[in-house]
Amino acid sequence: MTTAIGSTTSSVASAASTATTATDLGLDSDAFLQLFIAQLQYQDPLNPQDATEMMSQLAQLTQVEQAYKTTTALSELLTAQNNNLAMSAVSFIGGTVTAPGTQTYFDGTNAASLQYTMPVATSTATLTISDVNGKAVRIVDLGAQSSGTATYAWDGTDGQGTLLEAGKYNFAVSGTDASGTKQTATTYTVGIADGVKFDNGTAYVTIGPISVLYSDITSVSVS
C-alpha cells in the first residue's frame, strides 16, 4: 500500500514538473498537496519517507505552481495582444489596403487595381491575368516600363472584351530590359478591406474572397 502511494505521487510530481499547465494534468497545487499529505499519512512508520525525496517532491510542487502562474500570465498577455490586434485590424475596414501578393478581386463592376514594381526599366512588358484555375483570361501588352511602381486598372474583361464574373484572379507582370534579360515585377494585392478574421490566432484582413495576412499589409488609405 505504502509503495503504491509513494510511486504514484512520485510519478505524478514528475509529470507535473514538465507540464505546461495544471489544467493539462487535471491536477492543481491543492490536489498535489492533498496527495502529498495522504502519502505521509499512509507511509510505513518503520520505513518513513526519505527526507531528500520529500524535499524533491515539494520542489516539484513549486515548479508546477510557477509553471501554472507563468502560463496563465502569458495567456492573459496574448489575449490582450489579440484584442489590440483585432481593434487595429478592424480599423482598416473601408480603407484601401496594399500587401505583397499576386491576387486581385474583381467585384463585377469596378475596375480592379493591379499594382506592380519593376526592378529596372524594360523595353517591353506583359501583364497576364489568370483565373483561379491558372487559365489566362487576359494578356495585356504594357509596352516599355520605367523602373518603380505602376498600376494598371483592369476593367474585368477578357481578351475579347467580355465582362468576366466577379471573383478572385491572379496576375503577373514580366518584361525584357535593354540587354535582353527577363525581368519579373513584384506584384501587390490592392483592394478595399471589408472584414477581419482570425485563423488559429493569426489575423487576416479580407478583400472579398481574398484573405491578406495582417502583418503583410504595407499601407492603408482612406478616401
Residues 37, 79, single domain; the answer is yes
CATH number (domain holding residue 205):
2.60.40.4070
Residues 71, 103, single domain; the answer is no
Total of domains in the chain: 2
Boundary-marking domain end, from 53, 71, 90: 90
Residues 108, 173, single domain; the answer is yes
Higher-confidence residue: 134 or 59? 134
Residues 6, 68, single domain; the answer is yes
**Contacts (Cβ under 8 Å, ≥6 apart) of 46:** none
* C-beta atoms surrounding 6 within 10 Å: 18
Q: Yes or no: say if 186 and 102 are a contact pair by the CB < 8 Å rule.
A: no
**Contacts (Cβ under 8 Å, ≥6 apart) of 215:** 203
DSSP 67-128: HHHHHHHHHHHHHHHHHHHHHHHHTTTTSEEEEE-SEEEE-SSSPEEEEEEESS-BSEEEEE
Residues 17, 44, single domain; the answer is yes
Q: Yes or no: say if 126 and 173 are a contact pair by the CB < 8 Å rule.
A: yes
How far, in whole angstroms, is CA 96 from its chain's centroid? 21
Lowest mean pLDDT of 83-87, 141-145, 187-191, name the range: 83-87
Eight-state DSSP code of residue 12: H
Q: In Å, how far are 103, 104, 146, 215 from 199, measured between CA atoms?
A: 20, 21, 39, 13
Residues 104, 31, single domain; the answer is no
Residues 118, 198, single domain; the answer is yes
Residues 31, 7, single domain; the answer is yes
Domain with 198, as residue range(s), is 96-221
Higher-confidence residue: 169 or 58? 169
- What's the chain's Rg over C-alpha atoms? 31
Q: Yes or no: say if 96 and 115 are a contact pair by the CB < 8 Å rule.
A: no
Residues 107, 203, single domain; the answer is yes
**The three three-digit cell numbers of residue 44, written as one number:** 510505513
Residues 49, 124, single domain; the answer is no
Give residue-wise pLDDT tens across range 144-199.
Answer: 999 999 999 999 999 999 999 999 999 999 999 999 999 999 999 999 999 988 88
Residues 202, 156, single domain; the answer is yes
Mean pLDDT of the chain: 79
* C-beta atoms surrounding 152 within 10 Å: 16
Residues 33, 105, single domain; the answer is no
